Structure 1
Amino acid sequence: MAAAREITAREVEPGDDDAVELAKRHLVQPWPYAGSVGAEARALIGEGDGIYITDASGKRLIDGPAGMWCLNVGHRREELARVMYDQAMALSYNTPWYTMNAPSAELAKRIAGHAPGDLSHTFFTTGGSSAVETALRFMQFYNNVRGRPEKKLILSRGGAYHGSTYLSASLNGRPRDRDWMDGADELVVKLSSPDPFRRPKEMSITAFTDFLVDQFRDTVARVGADKIGAFVGEPVQASGGVVVPPEGYLRRIRQICRDNDILYVSDEVVTGFGRLGHVFASGEVFGIDPDMITFAKGVTSGYFPLGGVIISERLLEQLRHSNHPDALFGHGLTYTSHPIGCAVALKNLDILEESVLAHAREVAPYFQARLKTLEELPLVGEVRGMGLMACIECVADRESRNPLQLDKDVGKRIDAHCHELGLLVRPLINMCVMSPPLIISREQIDDMVTILREGISRTMDDLRKEGVWRG
């Protein structure tokens, strides 16, 4: 196992302590609790290199979450830094309202070459939330122009995560995301999560798949296809705990959408650009051709904020030949088609195509198999995943598959132990999510799993000592 090392490229500076105090006094962190909002400092990260980051104490850690599912080609890629500099020196910004830039046009062409079906045009945004928001606003515009102003409801699912803007967040299906937040609930119809681990104990996978499909079909019939504008779904529910749907489920849902003129929006903000070994997973992995695909994160490997939505040529053709040629899609962002972001994305795509996608496909089975060995630990109820994304779900009782109701910080406990051992984990209540940079090697996977095993074992000891869990 790789040992932690002291910082060599940069010593911890006095300003690091200042940054912690400044954050407590002036910085509002994302997703804060009311009791600490505006008075909180989080783990300070000093550097990144490859699959590693270095914290303020000088400890070197495997970046288990790859930032936030996004650092697909790893930290400190000089070629991406050079592209940012070169593009900024050539053209740092242009208004997208009445001008355009060459990198955005070239990137749109490259993306169309990887997209399934007739998805051929891209609207660029600043990230995943704005990408989903754009797809939904386009659906509304599309139906207004076609004379169907009532066809606006959106189907989403339990466990889903689609963003933090008002409309995109309204689709989210994790209770804690909405407990204290408002949303456009009148526009959203929620369906069950396609999580096989949480299906009734006596129900087979086949029966569970049929249940999900029947529920979808029955909902369309009950609500009315003339009222439903879109279904939005992640191919793999990422922040919901890396929920991999049953085989064939997405294809059957896609067919119901097609039969009822419901736009299928595949949210590939996480799964796109290599996480499952392909630029897009919808067609290559799941065999579906959506009406729109949203993306972000891995498109620039986190080096610049960029996202987008790819739109079917069929939909655009229908708009161009409608009876309302003067109808205005009144939607755009100051940083739509940002030249630096698009230039970085082009170079990032070069790197992915040259070797990283093939490497991700090659090491993914090893990654999944090694993590699966953690099911030997009695605290672990299931290890699941696909490609280079996985979730370790901890349970109080394997027989009933109950989560740890008496301690909702099990994921944080494991993360704290793993941090000491040299690994950053993404904790989600009773789960730990792993989605490392796609350049990770087999030896580094071994290091990661060894640390996870020890971190979970130490957590089990803590829970036993506290009487929270008997194991």
Structure 2
Amino acid sequence: MAAIRNVETMSATERLDFAEMAKGHLIQPWPVAGEIGAEARGGIIAGDGIYVTDIEGRRLIDGPAGMWCTNVGHGCEPIARTLYEQAMTLSYNSPWYTASEPSVRLSKRLAAHAPGDLDHVFYTTGGSSAVETALRFMQFSNNVFGRPTKKRIVARQGGYHGSTYLSASLNGRPRDHDWMDSAGDLVVKLSCPNPFRRPAGQSVEAFCDMLVEEFSTTIETLGAETIGAFVAEPIMASGGVIVPPPGYLTRMRELCRENDILFIADEVVTAFGRLGNIFASKEVFGIEPDLITFAKGVTSGYFPLGGAMISAALLARLRQSNHADAMFAHGLTYSSHPIGCAVAETNLDLLEGGLLAHARDIAPYFQAQLKTLEDLPLVGEVRGLGLMACVECVADRESNNPLALDLEVGKRIDAHCQQLGLLVRPLIHMCVMSPPLTISRPQIDDLVSILRQGIALTQDELVREGLWKG
């Protein structure tokens, strides 16, 4: 049995061994070719509430909640008990020919929270496989309906939807596709709905009109008969917490409805309390999608689980088609995993039992305190909603290629903040904050104070090195 390490008892030699083992055997996500299979990222040894402890023994506020996912915090005993008890009751069953009690119960509970008629769920192992499932379901449906050309997928620049082949093809962030193949012939990218980067002199309302018109023109140009789905994060998470202009999503939803295009809301990040609700599509943005993809917060990161909520009307159309024997030949060994579904139920108990209300109550304070950072010269904008926010730092304001200097800004801020007690998720020149929903007002004050110090130290560093005038 592997030992559970206590960082306080780790010697310098053991810490060195940790790094050497990582370099010798571990490949982590998104490596660069020059370091692949030979890098050691910062070790995290323990977690408690909103905090994690790194291999050096520093206690850090978990600013990004892992990867937007540790919503109930670290070391949650009810979830830990559920993991053990369900494993001892039923550790696994094949979803090909059996169903577990936790998966059936969870499905009913999720259907009660989902908007409109999204009352069925197909479970996956995470966000990438959830989006992949939704896209393959669109393709399958159009094949059954006798529309083999209605397969194009419309996404947006700046979006992120996963790392499987088809889901990754939708990604619209800088450099995502520089060295990776994709199904580019199937995907059409619309402009990023980022009000901060709208054309100079244009109002937010005019910017929204432009975005909607762009989609309308795209449909007219390509033909609605060739477009199967529009996929959108209600808030672009990894793209920099991009909150779209008011009315944007409802107008895009209407265009989809008018042209028989499936609207897929990618709620992998925004669901399960991040915006104060189980699902944010209807409650926050006023839309009823045809499908909702989810993952991350559904188990607060304690077990890999995701899924796609699917419209009952769409399923009814399939059942009434002339191809009753057409098979949706898609599945995963760990679909509907009984442990994952049981953990999700306990997670829902905690959210429904007061954590959602707490998140809604504390979110305005979180946003307001982070907004105070805009008085720092390096900060271009602080934006967000609920308990997700982005501090966008703009060092190279005059260059045609802002990444030339901005590229290292996030990493520098992160390094300073870790020394001070805060784990930041640096996205090039942006600092993303999405802490566990359990965070308190004093803890928010600590987070903002450390982030302010980290940015100020970075400003001083850039000036001292002659890279920035300030």
TM-score class, shorter? over 0.9
Check conservation: 1:381, 1:398, Cα contact below 8 A: no
1:20 deviates by: 1.5
Distance across 2 between alignment mates of 1:399 and 1:282: 37
AA paired with 1:11? T
Distance 1:49 1:462, change over 3 A: same
Residue aligning to 2:460? 461
AA paired with 2:84? Y
Check conservation: 1:234, 1:267, Cα contact below 8 A: yes
1:396 deviates by: 2.5
Superposed, 1:369-384 pairs within 5 Å as 369-384=368-383
In structure 2, the residue corresponding to 1:285 is in which secondary structure?
helix
1:100 deviates by: 1.0
CA-based RMSD of the aligned residues comes to 1.4
AA paired with 1:174? R
Residue aligning to 1:280? 279
Distance 1:341 1:272, change over 3 A: same
In structure 2, the residue corresponding to 1:406 is in which secondary structure?
helix
In structure 2, the residue corresponding to 1:206 is in which secondary structure?
helix
Distance across 2 between alignment mates of 1:451 and 1:165: 36
For the pair 1:241 / 2:240, whether they are aligned, the reply is yes
Distance across 2 between alignment mates of 1:352 and 1:164: 28
1:183 deviates by: 0.1
Cα deviations across residues 299-328 of structure 1 (Å, max 9, x unaligned)? 000000000000000000001111100000
1:399 deviates by: 8.3
Distance across 2 between alignment mates of 1:9 and 1:57: 8
Consecutive unaligned residues of structure 1, counting only runs of 5 or more, are 1-6
Over the matched positions of the two proteins, sequence identity in percent amounts to 70
Residue aligning to 1:30? 29
In structure 2, the residue corresponding to 1:293 is in which secondary structure?
strand
Check conservation: 2:154, 2:230, Cα contact below 8 A: yes
For the pair 1:54 / 2:53, whether they are aligned, the reply is yes
Cα deviations across residues 188-244 of structure 1 (Å, max 9, x unaligned)? 000000000010111110100000000010001101000000000000000000000
Distance across 1 between alignment mates of 2:153 and 2:225: 12
Distance 1:399 1:385, change over 3 A: farther
Residue aligning to 2:412? 413
Check conservation: 1:396, 1:405, Cα contact below 8 A: no
AA paired with 2:181? D
Consecutive unaligned residues of structure 2, counting only runs of 5 or more, are none
Residue aligning to 1:176? 175
Residue aligning to 1:11? 9
Check conservation: 1:119, 1:313, Cα contact below 8 A: yes
Distance across 2 between alignment mates of 1:313 and 1:61: 45
Distance across 1 between alignment mates of 2:212 and 2:198: 14
Distance across 2 between alignment mates of 1:423 and 1:195: 27
For the pair 1:82 / 2:81, whether they are aligned, the reply is yes
In structure 2, the residue corresponding to 1:119 is in which secondary structure?
coil
1:15 deviates by: 4.1
Residue aligning to 2:66? 67
Distance across 2 between alignment mates of 1:113 and 1:469: 53
1:147 deviates by: 0.5
Distance across 2 between alignment mates of 1:141 and 1:46: 44
- Aligned pairs, number: 465
Residue aligning to 2:231? 232
Residue aligning to 2:387? 388
Distance across 2 between alignment mates of 1:17 and 1:435: 31
Distance across 2 between alignment mates of 1:17 and 1:466: 31
Residue aligning to 1:113? 112
Check conservation: 2:8, 2:57, Cα contact below 8 A: no
Check conservation: 2:7, 2:57, Cα contact below 8 A: no
